[in-house]
Amino acid sequence: MRDLPLTPLSRPRVASTGKTGSWRTFRPTINTEKCTRCLLCWIYCPEACIELDATNLPKVNYDYCKGCGICAHECPLKIIKMEREESA
Amino acid sequence: MGRLKGVSTMVTLKELTKEEHWLPGNATCAGCGAAIAIRLAQKALGPRTVFVVPACCTSVIQSPFPFTAFATPCLNIAFEAAAAAASGVVAAYEARGLKDVTVLAWAGDGGTVDIGIQALSGAAERGTNFLYVCYDNEAYGNTGFQRSGSSPYGSRTTTTPTGKKEHKKDVPMIMAAHGIPYVATACISYPLDFVSKLRKAKELVGTKYIQVLTPCSAGWRYSTERTIEMGRLAVQTGIWALFEIEHGKFRLSTPSAALVDRTKRRPVEEYLKEQGRFDQLTPKDVEEIKRWIDATWEKYKKLQLNV
Amino acid sequence: MAQVIVETGNRVAGLACKAARAQVIAAYPITPQTTVVEQVAELVEGGKMDAKYIRVESEHSAMAACIGAAVGGARTFTATSSHGLALMHEMLHWASAARLPIVMAVVNRAMGPPWNIWADFSDSLSQRDTGWLQFYCADNQEIFDTTIQAYKLCEDNRVFMPAMVCFEGFILSHTSMPVKIPDQKEIDDFLPPYNPPWLMDVDNPLTHGSIVYPEWYMEFRYFMYEAMENARRLIPEIDKEYGRRFGFEHGGHIEKYRCEDADLIILSMGTIGSEAKLAVDNLRKQGRKVGAARVRVFRPFPKEEIQNMAKNAQMLTIIDRQVSYGMEGPLHTEVKASLYSERDSPLTAGFIAGIGGRDVTLRDIEKMVDKSFRYLQAGKVAKEVEWVGLRE
């Protein structure tokens, strides 16, 4: 227990709760060919798990995506599809 | 997007930082509106921001010890004490001559409108130089959705199972009555409006209060993907108005400005029928909600015309 | 330059806060603490003290603000009494578990209803489980010295716990006594700048106080327990060091007076302890071998000193200025608990006195001692808890 801090101080870390991707029932897939980089999916993701590449193309980090579907619902071109996860 | 009337700083999504100080893999419900608000606040204010967080959803969604989703410092504090603890942090930084750190009290509606209102009022009356953001999911979300003073009329919560019989407490106006330099309302469905207001507030000295509507799928009872849609409907029906009161001057924000004309407001039924928390409203309840919206907008109209 | 002043206990507390170089004070007025905060306000607004004074809107907010200020990197101070302390209760727990070395003057006052502004220990003793160190002063010099010592102790990295410096309302708070204020440079030498245990620091972002599951929580509480034990060891050391440097020490955990050969020792706290010394002198003149032990530190409770002192005494007369309803005076209980493991313990007679500011006189103490001696002769204590001076 001596490696504990003197009082509960938590350190910033990705996956602070774990690989929350395991929570989801549906997963978003983005049609990258049609994407116009409006950035709405990125800004509206509650999990901050849509990453932008150098050209601002969004990419879902499936380790953490909880499958809420906001990105698909808000995409103005409707090019994000929510697909049921295959059972393991 | 484009130019937003009444907000001086022009912001675009592209120029918002790609850096994340809200880290994925945390304990939010899927589709959490509060988390969207945290991300927007961090992008607006930058990493030299200390969050002071009373008991609320944010206390839990940040994840349990030993890790945290906050990559900005976060002081958790007791439910009613956010503004008081923040006052202390501000005073310490002032005593130490630390100038470029923003102290941000980040509280739910419970810790603001009800149990937290004394400390908030005290801090505002003292002209404490800090930013206070109330992210409003219209109930005590953390503990399973009991009513708060911010819950709207007719909404079902676990302590108002037949619907709340009182209207929403108007805390933005209460804060404006303190004569503080800046009061604003916002909504995560209008992200650039929220970001602009945060940035404007940051540059002002004194107490700045922003109340941001953060729809909650678990509590409002709608399917998780519709969080942003619910916020949009709230603004479009006029049940939640976006405005600023800067040095006492009231100004509706662009998404709400046209709605002084009641024909431009979408019928509130379009908002109410989408949420399980309103599924037991009687026609009389709906009439009462409409009456309240109309009466509120009459007030806004008068305030806007004084501009 | 050291100077001798004649001042009330409250103003001395304010001057101690200044001498300790507190950087943020957040406090709310309440009788009989009020002149502490008025003194602070005068010092800050008069430019005599370089600090921020937050005129908070309640005592709960006062402690919350002190917590915020401490983690913002400032040395903090506050003061309160009675209902103010009670209102702060939640945040007392917060401060100690957050391991923040906040020092607070508690001007002891009875709890209501009914309203009673006079002294007893019901306010501070009801908070004895909150993880705060508790000191009880008997004169204004001790108020000054203990405040400085408290910062030194609390900011020690083996401690990092908050402390209350308690003193009785009106009896000390509003009574002027001569107090020697040491030279500021020497105080600075004894008490270096604030050493924060942890900080809200944008260059090292951490989160404090999020949920801790049962798998982890107990260890943090154990660390607080250890810190109290460390404080127990350090208290007499710091008192002695202070005495060496400044010429005043106050007995460490317990101020003992003529106890070495005493058959009966009067145990008490605060100013009753001073009065007990006079009683001892009178009784000694009458041939009674009596001593007085003023418990200066209630938390951590000085178990060992009690055990040592009790070795040669036959009877302990314990005077409590508080009662824990459903049991007895807290001092009485804790003394008995300290002695339970000892083979031969003295008898103990508990007296409840001075509640709601009722005066505890020399005569009252002598009567308590008389009674105790009669119990001793009889070989048993007929009445374990007796309320002193009630109306017929």
Q: In chain B, positions 44-103, which contact chain C (CB-CB < 8 Å)?
A: 47-50, 52, 59-60, 62-66, 68, 70-78, 80-81, 83-96, 98, 101
Check C206 against A1: CB less than 8 A apart.
Answer: no
Residues 6+ apart with CB under 8 A from B82: B52, B53, B54, B105, B106, B107, B111, B112, B116, B119, B120, B132
Residue B10 lies in a domain: no
Chain A positions touching C219 (Cβ under 8 A) are 1, 4
Tokens of C242: 């202070």
Q: Is the pLDDT of residue B7 over 70?
A: no
Chain C positions touching A10 (Cβ under 8 A) are 206-208, 210
pLDDT tens, residue by residue, C333-392: 999 999 999 989 999 999 999 999 999 999 999 999 999 999 999 999 999 999 999 999
Pick the CATH number of C3-246 from 3.60.40.10, 3.10.310.30, 3.40.50.970, 3.40.50.1820: 3.40.50.970
Option in A1, A5, A7 nearest C97 (CB) = A7
Cα(B38)–Cα(B33) distance, integer angstroms: 9
Interface residue B1 vs chain A (CB under 8 A): no
For chain C, what is the mean pLDDT? 97
Question: What domain range is B79 assigned to?
Answer: 33-305
Option in C56, C68, C91 nearest B122 (CB) = C56
To 5 degrees, how large is the angle CA C185–CA C191–CA C197? Answer: 145
What are the φ and ψ backbone dihedral angles of B129, each rounded to 5 degrees? -85, 80
All partners of chain A with 3 or more CB pairs under 8 angstroms: B, C
Interface residue B62 vs chain A (CB under 8 A): yes
Cα(B259)–Cα(B241) distance, integer angstroms: 9
What are the φ and ψ backbone dihedral angles of C360, each rounded to 5 degrees? -110, 110
Residue B23 lies in a domain: no
pLDDT tens, residue by residue, B245-304: 999 999 999 999 999 999 999 999 999 999 999 999 999 999 999 999 999 999 999 999
Cα(C101)–Cα(C290) distance, integer angstroms: 38
**pTM (2 d.p.):** 0.97
Residue B113 lies in a domain: yes
Chain B positions touching A67 (Cβ under 8 A) are 30
Distance between C274 CA and the closest CA of chain B, angstroms? 38
Enumerate chain A positions whose Cβ falls within 8 A of a Cβ in B: 8, 10-20, 23-24, 38-40, 42-49, 52, 56, 61, 63-64, 66-70, 72-74, 82
Q: How many domains does chain B have?
A: 1
Check A6 against C206: CB less than 8 A apart.
Answer: no
Q: What CATH number should be reported for the domain whose range is C255-387? A: 3.40.50.920
Mean pLDDT of B220-239: 98
Q: Do the bridges between strand C133-136 and strand C163-168 make them parallel or antiparallel, or are there none, so unpaired?
A: parallel
Give the best residue of B74, B228, B229 to mutate against chain A (max A CB count within 10 A): B228
pLDDT in 10s for each residue of chain C, 392 residues: 899 999 999 999 999 999 999 999 999 999 999 999 999 999 999 999 999 999 999 999 999 999 999 999 999 999 999 999 999 999 999 999 999 999 999 999 999 999 999 999 999 999 999 999 999 999 999 999 999 999 999 999 999 999 999 999 999 999 999 999 999 999 999 999 998 999 999 999 999 999 999 999 999 999 999 999 999 999 999 999 999 999 999 999 999 999 999 999 999 999 999 999 999 999 999 999 999 999 999 999 999 999 999 999 999 999 999 999 999 999 999 999 999 999 899 999 999 999 999 999 999 999 999 999 999 999 999 999 999 999 99
Q: Is the pLDDT of residue A88 over 60?
A: no
Option in C97, C208, C223 nearest A9 (CB) = C208
Residue B272 lies in a domain: yes
Q: How confident is the model at residue B9 (pLDDT cuts 50, 70, 90)?
A: low
Identify which of B252, B230, B255, B254 has the alpha carbon closest to the alpha carbon of residue B296: B252
Residue B179 lies in a domain: yes
Residue B17 lies in a domain: no
Check A10 against C99: CB less than 8 A apart.
Answer: no
Here the CATH number for the domain that contains residue B128 is 3.40.50.970
Chains A–B, number of C-beta pairs less than 8 Å apart: 123
pLDDT for the residue numbered B5:
42
Distance between C200 CA and the closest CA of chain A, angstroms? 10
Distance between B1 CA and the closest CA of chain A, angstroms? 11
In chain C, where does the domain assigned CATH 3.40.50.920 lie? 255-387
All partners of chain B with 3 or more CB pairs under 8 angstroms: A, C
Residue B174 lies in a domain: yes
Domains, chain A, ranges and CATH? 20-84 (3.30.70.20)
How many Å from the N-terminal Cα to the C-terminal Cα in chain B? 25
Q: What is the 3-state secondary structure (H, E, C) of C296-348?
A: CEEECCCHHHHHHHHCCCCEEEEEECCCCCCCCCHHHHHHHHHHCCCCCCCEE
Q: How confident is the model at residue B3 (pLDDT cuts 50, 70, 90)?
A: very low
